[in-house]
Amino acid sequence: MDLGLSEPQEMLRKIARDFLATECPKSLVREMEEDERGYPPQLWQNMAELGWMGLPFPEEYGGTGGDFLDLAVLLEETGRACLPGPFFSTVVLGGLTILDAGSEEQRKEFLPQIADGKVIMTLALTEPGGTYDAASITVEAVPDKEQYVISGTKLFVPDAHVADWIICVARTGKGSNPEEGISLFLVNRDSQGMTCELLSSLAKDRQCEVVFNGVEVAAKNILGQPDGGWDVVRKLLQRAAVAKSIEMVGAAQQVLEMTVDYAKERVQFDRPIGSFQAVQHHCANMAIAVDSARYLAYQAAWKLTEGLPCDMEVAAAKAWTSDASRQVASLGHQVHGAIGFTLDHDMQLYSRRAKAAEVAFGDADSHRETLAQMLEA
């Protein structure tokens, strides 16, 4: 099998790595952790000019005509660089969902604006229960003539404080199972009755609580079919899980390289610590974890891109990568020792993000359970 990247993908990776090394140094990452907005507008606009926001969208909607696998290459580099800001929220959670389920009118209205960097989007899915199943959706959208009235609370909504539009997953009816009666709504951030509050998080990744208090949304702002939105949610969760896995691979690769470089340079007992077998084995285990995670994540990304059945591959990729990312960060800290825990060192940037990414869109245990159920079927 040819597991390599195509020539255009290799060029994209090189351009992205060089750009982020220059425009997104760790000093900027640290600065944005303390900035309420969480991202620099100039960097956002520069990324849009490079075509990153429109990478997975067809040219007819202002994109560059790439696909999800191309986006995966870019996401690995954003994970490697600890890119701050709403890129994942806008493109993966927002734009691709509109491309999947939106009407032609919705696609023509939103996708070109996303591609130009003029609109920021996010997804309001999880609630106080914190799970990703249909039964946890309790926010209600009640029909009222030509509109719906949404009431309830969403938690852990990424980048909602800077989003122009929020895709809200709400319950519009009841059926024989929880997956029936769910709809997706495009809600303007300035809608009356909606409030947003930033939450404190380990990764400082701008998670928000969004409260809908009788928010009125026009019926034309439904994405897909009323009451039939769970199929859309299921697909976006698969894509988000793979995309987050790819991000984690990029971050883990950077941790591996940082750790190997440190092991070669750090001298103890008159010799580099990389000459000690225990440290060598740590680095070897990190390399095994990174490469196996990359294989599983890209296999799932390729199947998603090709439209092939991939439930097992997605579950395996997120389960393994969640564990591998945590393991690599832990071993990296062991090799670095005390210095890796200081705020001035980059290790803590990656370990905090690894912990947050581990539980995003389903943790390892939940995906193992999904995989086990499919094996028993």
pLDDT tens digit sequence for 181-216: 999 999 999 999 999 999 999 999 999 999 999 999
C-alpha 258/C-alpha 19 separation (Å) is 19
123-228: same fold as 7-118? Answer: no
C-alpha 161/C-alpha 156 separation (Å) is 11
CATH fourth-level superfamily of 123-228: Butyryl-CoA Dehydrogenase, subunit A, domain 2 (2.40.110.10)
Q: What pLDDT shows up at residue 133? A: 93
Q: What pLDDT shows up at residue 108? A: 98
C-alpha 75/C-alpha 245 separation (Å) is 9
DSSP codes of every residue in 328-344: HHHHHHHHHGGGGGSTT
User: Which runs of E-coded beta strand occur in the chain?
Assistant: 121-124, 140-144, 147-158, 165-171, 182-188, 194-198, 207-218, 222-223, 267-268, 271-272
Q: What pLDDT shows up at residue 175? A: 83
Distance of CA 140 to the CA centre of its chain: 26
DSSP class of residue 228?
A: B
Q: What pLDDT shows up at residue 176? A: 85
**pLDDT per residue over 1-42, tens digit each?**
567 899 999 999 999 999 999 999 999 999 999 999 999 999
**pLDDT per residue over 38-88, tens digit each?**
999 999 999 999 999 999 999 999 999 999 999 999 999 999 999 999 999
Domain limits of the chain? 7-118, 123-228, 231-376
Q: How big is the chain, counted in residues? A: 377
Q: How do strand 121-124 and strand 165-171 relate by DSSP bridges?
A: parallel
Q: What pLDDT shows up at residue 67? A: 97
| The CATH number of domain 7-118, selected from 1.10.8.10, 1.10.287.1060, 3.40.640.10, 1.10.540.10 | 1.10.540.10
Q: What pLDDT shows up at residue 81? A: 98
**Can you give the pTM of this predicted structure?**
0.97
Q: Which of 151, 135, 161 is nearest to 185 (CA)?
A: 151
Q: Which of 356, 231, 245, 232 is nearest to 300 (CA)?
A: 245
- In this structure, CATH architecture of domain 231-376: Up-down Bundle (1.20)
Instruction: Say if residue 377's pLDDT is above 70.
Output: no
Instruction: Say if residue 332's pLDDT is above 80.
Output: yes
**pLDDT per residue over 124-158, tens digit each?**
999 998 899 999 999 999 999 899 999 999 999 99
